[in-house]
Structure 1
Amino acid sequence: MRPIRLAVIGAGPSCTYVLDRLAATARTAGGPVPLDVHVFDRTGEFGAGRVHSAGQPVTSVLNRIAGQVAFAADESVVGAGALLPGEERPTLHQWCRARHAETGEPEFDLTAEDSPKRYVHGLALADRFRRYAALLSEVPGVRVRLRHQEVADLEELPDGRLGVTGTRGERLLDADHVLLLTGHSSNDPSRYPKQAGWARFAESRAVVFVPFAYPLQDAFAPGQAGPGTTVGCAGTGLTAIDIVLHLTEGRGGTFTRQPDGTLAYRASGREPDSIVPFSGSGLFTFTRPFNAKERDTGSLEHRGVFLTEEAVLRLRRSAGRPPVTICGREQRQLDFRDHVLPLVVLEMALVYYTTLLGPGFGHRLAAAVRPVHEAFLADGGAGAPSEVSVRRLLAPLEELCDRAADTVDAVLAGGLALAEAERREPGTRAAVLRFVEVVFGEHLAGGIVARAGDAPAFADAVAAGESPWRHPKTVSGQRFSWERLIRPIDVASATGPQEYRAAMLDFLDLDQRWASQGNLANPAKAAADSVWRDLRSVLAHAVDFGGLHAASHRDFLDVYMRHLNRLVNGSALGVMEKLGALVRHGIVDVSAGPRADVRPDEHSGRFVVHGGVTGAVLPVDVLVDARVHPFDAEKDVLALYPNLLRRGLVRTWRNPGTDGPDFAPGGLDLTEEFHPVRGDGRTDRRLTVLGWPSEGVMFFQYGALRPQQNHHIMRDILQWMGEFWEHVAGAAAAGGPVSQHGG
């Protein structure tokens, strides 16, 4: 019989994970498996793909620790089925340790909590890809072909298969099933008015516009962005940080540790004169904290108390809009700002104070809040705006914190003996001891706590102690504030370029200190990490498949996804220390501040960055769009998705606006099984799309696979694979492939 032909388009990390699952399950078949797997990748970097290339600059660092990156399914993945032997599915940390033992190269000498270079991740992906492809090829009846070719189109064939077509229109394969794993791409700048204007200006002037930074090693032509030039980065996220390090450390600059513990930068002379990152927020992504949860993620990662899937379901019933049909099912839509955000803020406050004053105090807080939480779920906020609902939910929590602050601060100041405070308010002793440990650290706290029986001596010890993390020494000085967490620089007192620069340096220092304290001991980092990372699946439950009405969905992506990325998706401590050193050195100019934008200046022939708050005016010679482009099937620079749209094989997803315009985030219209909905409304089961193109109808569908997490990326792959193997089995029973054309 003719084997099933599977075309996998895109050979990045997701393809590596797919090959693990195919190899592990095919090896248990007990006989020949009639399967031809054709893996297409336009870069030829099988396993890593362009974004994770092993050839990328050595200055780029993965924003995930080595112990939290996997390449294959493990025992935690529900329904995974057969697993490869343990030695075939190392974590990135284990892979690096083995490679270090073989080579002695320092790049591989990592602990589980270290953030590796991104090219190291690329090397590991390529290695695991080769191994899993080889294991799959060993199965009788299976053939795996790696094809360094770009797929530009798919076309319907008379026999029900899909013709896989190259860039010159040549037929590359007749496929029974196509799995699209295309990952990150970029969008055509001519399709965006602002970027198109920048490009036109650069064409007629002696300035440069770089529409997309990756691959970073190819972003700048020889002689560009060198001495005598100023580089502007439109964006202050991870991409901008990559660019900054590439143009400084990557040009031969070095960092040295000073006697005071800070880093200092020594220029090589090959850098640009200045680099100007700018954005609406004026903030870099915050420093990723030391991940103390790595030692036991199963027990240490946070589980929601108030922000839960059940809470989201109850809000849909009490406050959801009248049902609309979305993705083939009825959905009562919520407003993220008014319905979900109050629970997010409440959960963050609970984690914050539990971290600051201990689990016993956290339990009392949860009990105090539960009645008002139940009332909020029952009435959905009664139509009140977000800020009113937040105050309503936080009121019993803040009342209890007021009393705790009065008592604990009195003990810390020596005005109330600890024993007497415990007699009046049971649990105070534990709260005081926890607070002292958070403020001073375990080492210093021991000596201070030893004096707790003598009120004056205890107060003197607290007053004399210095917090390594610059924490105030009172509970009243450390009250939770959502606004302060997301806007840590007070722009009212930093309205000039130099004032803002000083405020930014102060915040970078504070943020790095907090990050070093970790995501279990620092209240702010614990609150952000526990809610925006550990409870991401709950957020997805609220957002996915039209969970929010159209206007709120747009608001979520424009506002709250930015908060998420800034709060918890930042760079490692070592990277942010380098960034601080570059700002202190003066080569990185942050004086544009918040509400900054860039305009072409006809008079000077240069781009000019304007600080909306600081008033800074900063001419630049090279302008880089330093943002990761959102997936947009219509505007993609590659031909594949525009062609699929033109043929009607796919369509973009729209969140229907019931009292306003629809919202079309750019991603594809997909079923819950990740099959595309065609232009005519039918589902095409010959096609499956995983990852980046599903952004829009689903939330946060990218990222590296995590070990021991029953991770959503692997669950999505299993969803595809179970259906695919059924098709293979059906074909075998029928004596050949059967049509999968959807209905």
Structure 2
Amino acid sequence: MNCDTAYKIGIIGFGPKGFYGFERLAAFLHEASIFQSIEIHLFNTTRFFAAGDVYRTDQPDFLIMNYANRNINSWTLREPLPIVKNPKDFISWLKQNDIPNAGPGDYAPRKTVGQYLIHCFESVIESLPKNIKVVTHIGSVINVYKNNGDYHVSGKYKDLGNEFNVVCQKVLFTTGHVSFKSQINNTISLEKKIDFIYPTNEKLSLVTPKSQVAVKGFGLTAIDAILALTEGRGGIFKKNDKGILKYITSEKEPYKIYPFSRTGLPMVPRNGSPISELALQFFTDEVVQNLKSKKPISFNSTLLPLIKKEFYYAFYSVLFNNNGHKFYCDDDFTVMENQVQYFHEDYPESPVFNWEAIVNPFKDEPILSSMVQQVYVEILIDEAKLGEDNSPFMAAVAMWRKISPIFNEIYSFGGLDAESHKEFDTYYFGLFNRLSYGPPVKNMQKMLALCKAGILDFSYTKSARIAPNDVNDNFTLEIESGQATEINYLINATISRAKQNGFENELYQNLHKNGLIREYENITNTRYIPGCLEINSKGNPVSKTGIVNNNITFYGTPTEGITCDNDTLSRTRNDFATDWAKETCTAILKRDGRTENYDRTENVL
């Protein structure tokens, strides 16, 4: 390659993760004092570069975060430091721009987070040296193939329909959940089925007033869909004289909205308070290192007992404290159980820790009435208002957020045996998300108000089935008791994750066909194919022939299945962006003959 030719880099998918990769690349290039011509091509399906679909800035204010303001920061303190002077975290940016509800425990509208992300992106652009050119492409990447050592990124521009083909030397993939398959039956009429709800004002506009709507899922996306069909259509939530939230109809919302899911359980809400100071007691450094040395391990026999003990410890720490006592941890768990036994003898009215009651209180109930669900939601709201420092239940479920980073290290790259890997993906992942990453309390209060107003109906939440019928392209929603109702619209409010049986997205099908990626298989003890691509510890894919490709890196959602829980806004979880930026910088230096090694750890060239 001629050194006078611009070195071209592609980032496919430019939401927060794409921006993080871009920011790290700019920092490494600046530190290495690279003055040669460089082109960075950014590919995104919409104009909301850095914000992506989740944080796009044209969505309504009532679609809010489930992540308190204190946890949001687009910048990293790792060296090399950002090229932007005085980069600001989210709260500082909110205050600088006089944006209300800027407190650490507040939950901002998602569009406000998008505005912050775009501001950060534009700040990096403005700080780039003249030798670095950024080219944005709004459209869909359909194929990437290798030719003469380079990678051709091809697709179609949005609206124009024109095709593009950009040649790159390095490529970072940060595409979202589009790489995974839809979870709604494809035999259902597309005119009455909504497979993806964002942007809600566009995707949900075909739902007519006074219609009957089924919402598949009962998580954060389902709440967004329900609010978009009510508050988003002019309905108003107001507190009455007793401080209870009531819903005032606009007459434009559906007649009934029926959420349904496998367990039928809503997410546990949060109140925005700081995470409790309770430290993990059983996932000690020594234990964790021992677990890592024994990979692959069994989830049920090795990890789950430790998780239960951490929940138990947190539950009783708060319960004891509420009654003026101190709960002591001990390596001998029976010592802790004896403390609990004596405590309950003195306080027989106090709640008792019960794992099953926490994770699935209606496990043995095949059908749940709307009233039972309503009472359960009221209980969850009351517990969330108390917070982690005062509610034993909330203290227990919050422990997963502390365990999660440790668990990710154990889980990733085949850390669980195949049977455990499958069980975690199909059951425990959703369970822990429901317990620990729920919506703000006020959103759950809105769900309760809608239920009391007769619009939100919980009668079909658990184990419902939906099937098309021949009446006006409608559907039938039914449960095991035989209870059924006619549905006019079906909304998929689940987030697709990696599943077995190949890649559904056209881009990933083509990458597979071109031999650039292959499916990951966990073949320890038994066999499990999670439906994700195989990567190494730096995010580089393994090709069809088993060769690691250092010119391509995957980061974020595309790595789920071989890594766990890629938090959209996290700068630290499974951070393949830093290695990618460093290796890209090294490749440019090698091309130009300046050095054979760029050792960032010693900060020398």
Q: What is the Cα deviation at residue 486 of structure 1?
A: 1.4
| Equivalent runs, 1:12-51 vs 2, <5 Å | 12-30=15-33, 32-51=35-54
Structure 2 match to 1:6: 9
Give TM-score, length-normalised by structure 2. 0.90
2 CA distance for matches of 1:672 and 1:263? 49
1:258 to 240, 258, 262: 240
Q: Summarize the Cα distance change of 1:405–1:268 in structure 2 as closer, same or farther, 3 Å threshold.
A: same
Say whether 1:343 aligns with 2:212: no
Structure 2 match to 1:501: 370
Deviations 1:240-299 (A, max 9, x none): 111100000001000110122210001101111000001121111111233223xxxxxx
Structure 2 match to 1:623: 490
Quick check: 1:290–1:515 contact (8 Å CA) kept in 2?
no
1 CA distance for matches of 2:577 and 2:259? 38
2:592 is paired with a residue whose SS is helix
Structure 1 match to 2:133: 143
Structure 2 match to 1:402: 341
2:577 to 717, 724, 727: 717
AA paired with 2:593?
A: A
Q: What is the Cα deviation at residue 620 of structure 1?
A: 0.9
1:72 to 75, 82, 85: 75
Structure 1 match to 2:551: 686
Q: What is the Cα deviation at residue 47 of structure 1?
A: 1.2
AA paired with 1:265?
A: Y
Structure 2 match to 1:698: 563
Quick check: 2:181–2:497 contact (8 Å CA) kept in 1?
no
Q: What is the Cα deviation at residue 84 of structure 1?
A: 4.6
Say whether 1:213 aligns with 2:208: no
2:146 to 138, 152, 156: 156
Structure 2 match to 1:365: 328
Say whether 1:352 aligns with 2:315: yes
AA paired with 2:496?
A: H
2 CA distance for matches of 1:239 and 1:31? 44
1:673 to 527, 531, 538: 538
1:535 is paired with a residue whose SS is helix
Quick check: 2:44–2:137 contact (8 Å CA) kept in 1?
yes
Say whether 1:733 aligns with 2:593: yes
Q: What is the Cα deviation at residue 615 of structure 1?
A: 5.4
Q: What is the Cα deviation at residue 315 of structure 1?
A: 4.7
Structure 2 match to 1:468: none
1 CA distance for matches of 2:576 and 2:321? 37
Q: What is the Cα deviation at residue 351 of structure 1?
A: 1.2
AA paired with 2:98?
A: H
Q: Summarize the Cα distance change of 1:603–1:85 in structure 2 as closer, same or farther, 3 Å threshold.
A: closer
Structure 1 match to 2:80: 81
| Equivalent runs, 1:238-253 vs 2, <5 Å | 238-253=220-235
Deviations 1:350-382 (A, max 9, x none): 111112223999986322xx14xxxxxxxxxxx
Structure 2 match to 1:521: 390
Q: If you compute each CA radius of gyration, which structure gives the higher value, 1 or 2?
A: 1
Q: What is the Cα deviation at residue 226 of structure 1?
A: 2.0
Quick check: 1:554–1:663 contact (8 Å CA) kept in 2?
yes
Deviations 1:415-470 (A, max 9, x none): xxxxxxxxxxxxxxxxxxxxxxxxxxxxxxxxxxxxxxxxxxxxxxxxxxxxxxxx
2:19 is paired with a residue whose SS is helix
Give the percent of matched residue pairs that are identical in Structure 1 and Structure 2.
25
Q: What is the Cα deviation at residue 146 of structure 1?
A: 1.9
Quick check: 1:233–1:624 contact (8 Å CA) kept in 2?
yes
Q: What is the Cα deviation at residue 581 of structure 1?
A: 0.3
1 CA distance for matches of 2:513 and 2:500? 11
Q: Summarize the Cα distance change of 1:229–1:720 in structure 2 as closer, same or farther, 3 Å threshold.
A: same
1 CA distance for matches of 2:428 and 2:126? 43
1:608 is paired with a residue whose SS is strand
2 CA distance for matches of 1:630 and 1:734? 43
Higher helix fraction: Structure 1 or Structure 2? 1
Query: How many residues were matched structurally?
Result: 590
1:477 is paired with a residue whose SS is coil
Quick check: 1:351–1:362 contact (8 Å CA) kept in 2?
no
2:430 to 558, 562, 573: 562
Quick check: 1:58–1:250 contact (8 Å CA) kept in 2?
no
1:619 is paired with a residue whose SS is strand
2 CA distance for matches of 1:477 and 1:150? 57
1:664 is paired with a residue whose SS is coil
Quick check: 1:163–1:171 contact (8 Å CA) kept in 2?
no
Deviations 1:133-170 (A, max 9, x none): 2212xx25222222223322112122x11122224895
Q: What is the Cα deviation at residue 514 of structure 1?
A: 1.4
RMSD between superposed Cα atoms in Å: 2.8
Q: What is the Cα deviation at residue 14 of structure 1?
A: 1.2
1:45 is paired with a residue whose SS is coil
AA paired with 2:528?
A: F
AA paired with 1:56?
A: Q
1 CA distance for matches of 2:34 and 2:288? 47
Deviations 1:456-491 (A, max 9, x none): xxxxxxxxxxxxxxxxxx5x5212111111124586
Quick check: 1:61–1:115 contact (8 Å CA) kept in 2?
yes
Uncovered stretches (5+) of structure 1, i.e. residues with no partner: 102-107, 294-299, 321-331, 372-392, 410-473, 738-743
2:169 to 168, 173, 176: 176
Quick check: 1:634–1:641 contact (8 Å CA) kept in 2?
no
Q: Summarize the Cα distance change of 1:164–1:727 in structure 2 as closer, same or farther, 3 Å threshold.
A: same
